[in-house]
Amino acid sequence: MLVGAFACAHTPQLLARPSTEDRDLVLRVHGAFARVKRRLETLRADAIAVVAGDHVEAFFLDAVPALGVYVGSECAGTFGRYRYRFPIHEPLARAVVEQGVERGFDLFYTQHAPLDYAFYVPLHFTMPEPGVPIVPLHVNVYLPPQPTPRRCYDWGRTLGEILQARPERVVLMASGGMSHFPGTDRYASPEFEYDRRLLDALKAGHGRELAAITGEELDKMGNIELRTWAVLLGAVGEARADVYCYEPSWHHGNAVVEWPV
């Protein structure tokens, strides 16, 4: 069953803070992550299904999958001095890919690919103790053409039904967002007002609105990663968002959010 749903920022500056980043802001986001960690412990999650956008780490231009599931026994990734290795909840991962395909989503799966930091930055701070296995769920956000927000939302709705019918207590975590423009001329001027309006809509339970946003608008607003949120919103329906924090840095709208399920 689905027992919890969260969205977490994953910018690597939260893990390795350059001197350009406001330390107090970073610590406030860490504080929100600590709340998520306590919630995961309270919810007694058996597994965390993490929906994240690959930063051209597992998949380069040799093959660009849209939506998929990591179905191995474990997964691992490195970022500088950080080394991560997580067990995968294989029965749950298999159920997601098998039932997802059966229900009309042409998912890819992999049993071995490098794990992107979009997965492990939030887990670095939120993994409950003792740790639980994960199910990495991939969404292509950086290599156009990406799946439409509508398609992501529809996949999330099916994913939610699959998780709801499972015996395990599953927490769904969307990793990404909010507004940021890495590598472009807009890097120092994200669309924070857009983020705030969207968070207001989510607080009112209007998650379905994200499904109607075009991919072009997400790109314009620095929010290509919100496709992962669209997946989550498909699963949680009209639940009202509880915004733990929204911390705009000079280049990134850092949000941590919970939805009751």
Spatial distance between the Cα atoms of 116 and 82, rounded to a whole number of angstroms: 12
Nearer to other proteins, 80 or 130 (CB): 80
| Residues contacting residue 135 through CB under 8 Å, at least 6 positions apart | 47, 48, 49, 50, 69, 70, 88, 89, 92, 93, 96, 170
Q: Whole-number minimum distance, CB 207 to other proteins, in Å?
A: 24
Q: Is 103 helix (H, G, I), strand (E, B) or coil?
A: coil
Spatial distance between the Cα atoms of 15 and 17, rounded to a whole number of angstroms: 6
Nearer to other proteins, 162 or 218 (CB): 218
Q: Whole-number minimum distance, CB 116 to other proteins, in Å?
A: 9
Task: Yes or no: say if 196 and 256 are a contact pair by the CB < 8 Å rule.
Answer: no
Q: Whole-number minimum distance, CB 61 to other proteins, in Å?
A: 6
What residues pair up with 143 in beta bridges, in sequence order?
none
Nearer to other proteins, 207 or 215 (CB): 215
Nearer to other proteins, 62 or 104 (CB): 62
**CA torsion, ordered 146, 151, 155, 157, to nearest 10 deg:** 140
**185: DSSP letter:** T
Q: Whole-number minimum distance, CB 45 to other proteins, in Å?
A: 23
Q: Whole-number minimum distance, CB 184 to other proteins, in Å?
A: 5
Residue owning tokens 């919103």: 233
Residue owning tokens 């499904």: 211
Nearer to other proteins, 28 or 78 (CB): 78
Q: Is 98 helix (H, G, I), strand (E, B) or coil?
A: helix
Q: Whole-number minimum distance, CB 23 to other proteins, in Å?
A: 7
Cα 31 to chain centroid, rounded: 18
| Residues contacting residue 51 through CB under 8 Å, at least 6 positions apart | 137, 139, 156, 172, 173, 174, 175, 228, 231, 232
Nearer to other proteins, 6 or 117 (CB): 117
Residue ranges in contact with other proteins by CB under 8 A:
12, 14-19, 23, 26, 30, 55-57, 60-61, 78, 80-81, 114, 124-125, 142-145, 181-184, 186-187, 215-216, 219-220, 222, 224
